[in-house]
Amino acid sequence: MKARSIMFQGTGSGVGKSVICAGFCRLLARRGIKVAPFKSQNMALNSGVAQGGEMGRAQILQAQAAGIEPDVRMNPVLLKPIGNSTSQVIRLGKPVGNFTAREYYEMSQENLKTAVQAYESLANEYDAIIIEGAGSPAEINLHRTDIVNMRTAEFADAPVFIIGDIDRGGVFAWMKGTYDLLPEYGRPRVKGFIINRFRGDISLLQPGIDMFRELVPVPVTGTVPMLNLTLEEEDSQSIENSTKGGFVTVAVVRTARMSNFTDFTPLATCPDINLIYAKSPNELTGADIIILPGSKSTIADMKDLRMRGFDKKILSMADKTPVVGICGGFQMLGRTIKDPEGIEGSDSECAGLGLLDMETVITPEKTLLNRTYQGLGLLEGLDFRGYEIHMGVSATSKEYAQLCTEKDVCIADGKIIGTYIHGIFDSEEVAARIIALSGKNIRPDYSYHKNKQAQLDLLADTLEQHLDTEYILSSLY
């Protein structure tokens, strides 16, 4: 029997679509329903390696919530912005090239075909599919080339529930405006609204909900309270400092094109750690650990950091403060970064920080690996999972300490650590040993994985309690 589906769209980006979809995946999985997530097109610099190649981290989280292995069919089209209105297009897990926004929209029929085929394939294997939209379905200039909102609802024959974020204010105007600007063919599919991130007394909001029903012929199916979750988010606008009285300060340098900031979610959830995203060099002062994150355009980000004075600040602290570079950040630790074919942008070369005697050349071939690594040196005795996504080869002229058996993907020179492995902090033991280089030790009994599972269950419980879930799920039965 072919799967039935439900779709969650939003009044805009960052309203909580990804997390609510994860909650419904967990809710259905707990009821014994074989459920999978789906998002036709994702635009994000947070990606991971799954079965078939590269896909968005939001759908990876949703698959984990459903208790299944992530599969690129769950996110058949992924756009990774590289600047100047240009994105790398990933189709079914593999890069197909860099395209401007106009060029991409001219490919809409081809991408729609890919999305339909991926959905149909999943629908033949699962009982239910939870579909996530993107941005807003009310972007009237994009209706003709849409493949991710109402066009997806149409080919999946899915009822639609629209999520609004009341914490931003104006939620009723946002919801009504969205409904009014929907394409005519999509409006009948809307079966309800969800108000997300509510604080306060629900009785004070209820008159507004009653009046809204008189204006829009679709019910508000519930109000989800503000939850202080630390689950992985898709949108960069969700990046925020996590300062909760910890005694270890980890400073992530906030680059303009930062990718895979989900690497730091485990650090943000640890009660012993204050995680800050430093926008200026002065914010690095007092940090116990400095991290250079991944980047979709490493040379451009390196030049930007130098222009803002981060290079001098990092070099002045590096003799005493551990510095960790991940992926693009790893490349920045070297002497030079070269991009002779202009793969990541127009800049062909720039100097790195010179903390490692290393040269990186950006190459067209993308490394996509997801595996278990065996630790060496500082990480001796640890087995940890992680993944690699990079378009570059880094060569050193010095023998550095290898931190795992896979040569040159995780190396150290004293307190300077460079790695191509994303998700390395998902291992509490790895995080603890790296943080110990600062002279401070986090508690050994904290488990990121247990915390994540507990938060997914809390999310599902909250949806059950505050939404009319039986009405929302009625199309599945």
Rounded (5°) CA angle 103-238-6: 70
Burial class (CB in 10 A: 0-12, 13-18, 19+), 341: exposed
Nearest to 398 by CA among 377, 412, 388: 412
Catalytic, out of 21, 25, 327, 404: 327
Q: At 5, which helix (H) or strand (E)? A: strand 4-10
Residues 290, 253 contacting (CB under 8 angstroms): yes
Q: At 76, which helix (H) or strand (E)? A: none
Nearest to 146 by CA among 172, 95, 182: 182
Phi, psi of 60 (to 5 degrees): -65, -45
Residues in the chain: 477
Is 404 a catalytic site residue? Answer: no
Q: CA 68 to CA 62: how far, in whole Å?
A: 9
Catalytic, out of 143, 404, 410, 422: 422
Distance of CA 419 to CAs 44, 211, 290, 316, 369, Å? Answer: 22, 55, 14, 22, 14
Nearest to 92 by CA among 59, 62, 133, 126: 59
Is 327 a catalytic site residue? Answer: yes
Q: CA 34 to CA 129: how far, in whole Å?
A: 9
Q: Residue 472 is encoded by which pair of tokens?
A: 């929302």
DSSP secondary structure letter of residue 477: -
Task: Report, as residue numbers or ranges, the catalytic residues.
Answer: 327, 422
